[in-house]
Chains A and B, each alone.
Chain A
Amino acid sequence: MIRELWAYRELVYFLAWRDVKVRYKQTVLGVLWAVIQPFFTMVLFTLLFGQLAKIPTDGIPGPIFYFSALVPWIYFSSTVTNAGMSLVANSGLFTKIYFPRIILPAAAALSNLVDFLISSVFLVGFIVYYEVPLGWNLLLWPVLVVLLMLLALGLGAFFAALNVKYRDIKYALPFFIQLLLFATPIIYPASMIPERFQWLLALNPLSALIEVFRHVVVPNRSVDWNILGISAAIIGVLFIAGVAYFKGTEKAMADLV
């Protein structure tokens, strides 16, 4: 499978390139859209949860606190959504031509990475503006990105395969993602969760990821290696399970769509 995927690597690239190109063609603001969504969500969160609800932010300036979590969150949620819809949306393609089907969700994961990187550059701007000191933790950043991609792709592939078979997935998916937004420390810090429930964080691999993303940017607190390790293991299992389920249903896909 890996060899075949390697043979088709250019197609992943071309499909991702198509998605990016089409997304920003004919929009007045072009690539700025990649930043607008996390930026205004951040502004809203800062006003609503920071100023109004006075939810603590671990001593991190509000905008950085929210933005550093929103950038990976938006990557995650849009990749799971786009990858989950990728087969049904491209049914005209894969019922007419053969290529490894996993390429479709993989291309979604890759094309969203472009947005992720653009908004990450923006995040650097925040860091400079708030004069946050840089730490060694920053070296962890690429590892986190890989983990984030694996998680989003694993879940996305699972939902994509499920979506071909069961058409109500497209209604369930946004709901699932919305729930996850609240089950993940994005609008609140993980430290707000009482000590005896902290282990729950390890169960949601996205929690540890987002929390570490934050502390990589603002090194005011050390990385919890135990929780990150457990999360990485869970992500590995989810990724393999998601892709395995996808591969298992692959043969029947063209007959079902």
Chain B
Amino acid sequence: MTRSLEIQRLSKQYRLGQTQHHQMLRERLVEMIKHPFGGVKGTESIWALRDVSFDADEGEVIGIVGRNGAGKSTLLKILSKITYPTSGEIRVNGRVASLLEVGTGFHDELTGRENIYLNGSILGMRKREVEERFDAIVDFSGVERFIDTPIKHYSSGMRLRLGFAVAAHLEPDVLIVDEVLAVGDAGFQKKCIRAMEGLRNSGRTVLFVSHNLAAVENLCSRGIWIDAGRVRMDGAAKDVIESYMGSFSGERVSGFDLSGTENRSGSGEIRYTRFEYLSPEGTPCAVVRSGDPLVLRLHYHAEKTIRDPSFGIRLFTQMGTLITQTGHLLHGIHIPKVEPGDGYVELEIDSLNLVPGQYPFSLWITGQSSKMVFDGDVRGSLEVEVADVYKSGRMLDSTHGLVYFPQRWRV
């Protein structure tokens, strides 16, 4: 078997603030005048990837799993040459194509036919290659009737199929795919999976990131689990996924256990002991995704009978801005008393309309008057993962703000 990909001690450092804030030349000039010998101010930095090494052989389909911000996307971007590593080496045998988004560079005003040529060319196909495969692409996409219609009149599903059709005919030696299976209907997903199986059978190497762990397990022979910028596990896809899932449940017992939490305020007659993320059916959620329904079950332990308690939660951004505060009293629900011992309250959220990211929250239990604090400043954290909330293949991220509304566009 031939090596198609060798990655050695790949690291990527980001300077904090580099991406959030666009510097102004004016500011930079003022800075230079004020501190002519100062140089650029030192900024904090983080390692998005640290010493990542692995090899891939021809015909291997590798699923990459890991949480939001673990470094999966950074890894794919480096392998696609979109961004450059701070250190480390990559050796690739053959042509690499990356599909970080379906239909990159599609232009609304152009027809399906024109977009096939444009998109193909952007993905690295020669005009001659596109011409040769044109009929097959159109056939695969299933939009032949509208091929000479500007794609602004296409439905999102049609655009997606057209975009994937072009990508499926790339015939690269190494294909890098990011989360495209999460989109589209079941029929489309089957088509995608068949296309990727075809690549595997013809000896291509596929690197595949997805939150759809079932798809990873079905499609991939090997899994790599990236955690906090490092390879945490590399092995058979089934084993890696099992361990990865296991890390969530392990956390539920220990990490979400609140008994050891420090710096809590309040008198302590009643305290939160732990919390759980559940689906509305009551099964534990390994992954919380944008737009999912979610039940937050808050367990408590009361030392004695508590009269008129008030349970509540505040959800924050990482910058500390309050997103929402809620409690059962807001709903006019009154709890006359809580008996000594263990119990729980549940907050059921119909749809978690938050963009992916990490959201700290704090819990409290007070008496009828908020001055009488039983338990306060109880810190927890909610991690929201990417989802295709608009069913369009366009993932939400922090550039789309903080929240999204359930919505429809009419055009």
Contacts and interface: CB of A to CB of B under 8 A. Distances in A.
Given A162-B25, A254-B83, A11 B121 contact: yes
Interface in A6-27: 10-11, 14-15, 18, 21-22, 25-26
Interface in A82-139: 92-99
B80 A97 contact: yes
Contacts of A25: 109-110
Interface stretch (A46-54, A165-173, A183-191, A202-210): A165-173
Contact of B25 (A11, A95, A169): A169
Interface string B95-112: 000101100110101100
Contacts of B109: 21-22, 25-26
B87 to A, nearest CB: 13
B24 A11 contact: no
Interface string B3-44: 000000000001000110011111010000000000000000
B96 to A, nearest CB: 8
5 contacts: A95-B82, A97-B82, A97-B100, A165-B23, A254-B77
A195 interface: no
Contacts of B77: 254
B118 interface: yes
Given A11-B122, A18-B118, A98 B25 contact: no
A92 B127 contact: no
Nearest to B105: A93
A94 B83 CA distance: 10
Interface in A156-186: 162, 165-169, 172
A18 B24 CA distance: 31
Given A98-B98, A172-B25, A93 B122 contact: yes
B123 interface: yes
A166 B126 contact: no
Given A21-B114, A167-B24, A97 B121 contact: no
Contact of B127 (A10, A98, A165): A10
Given A22-B107, A98-B98, A167 B22 contact: yes
Nearest to B98: A97
Nearest to A25: B109
A21 to B, nearest CB: 7
B84 interface: yes
Given A10-B121, A18-B110, 20 more contacts: A10-B127, A11-B122, A14-B122, A18-B107, A18-B114, A22-B107, A22-B110, A92-B104, A92-B105, A93-B104, A93-B105, A97-B80, A97-B122, A98-B80, A98-B82, A162-B25, A165-B25, A166-B23, A168-B25, A251-B84
B300 interface: no
A96 B117 CA distance: 18
The size bracket of the interface on A is: 20 to 34
B18 A255 contact: yes
Contacts of A95: 82
B124 A99 contact: yes
Given A96-B82, A256-B18, A10 B126 contact: yes
B83 A166 contact: no
B209 to A, nearest CB: 14
B81 A166 contact: no
A11 B117 CA distance: 10
Contact of A96 (B19, B24, B26, B104): B104
A15 B104 CA distance: 13
Contacts of A256: 18-19, 22
A256 to B, nearest CB: 7
A97 B123 contact: yes
A25 B84 CA distance: 37
Interface in B221-259: none
Contacts of B121: 10-11, 14
A254 B48 CA distance: 15
Contacts of A255: 14, 18-19, 83
Nearest to B48: A255
A168 B28 CA distance: 11
A94 B77 CA distance: 11
Nearest to B117: A14
A148 B39 CA distance: 37
Nearest to A164: B22
Contacts of A21: 109-110, 114
- Of A98, A168, A256, most buried by chain B (CB within 10 Å of CB) is A98
Contact of B101 (A10, A26, A96, A251): A96
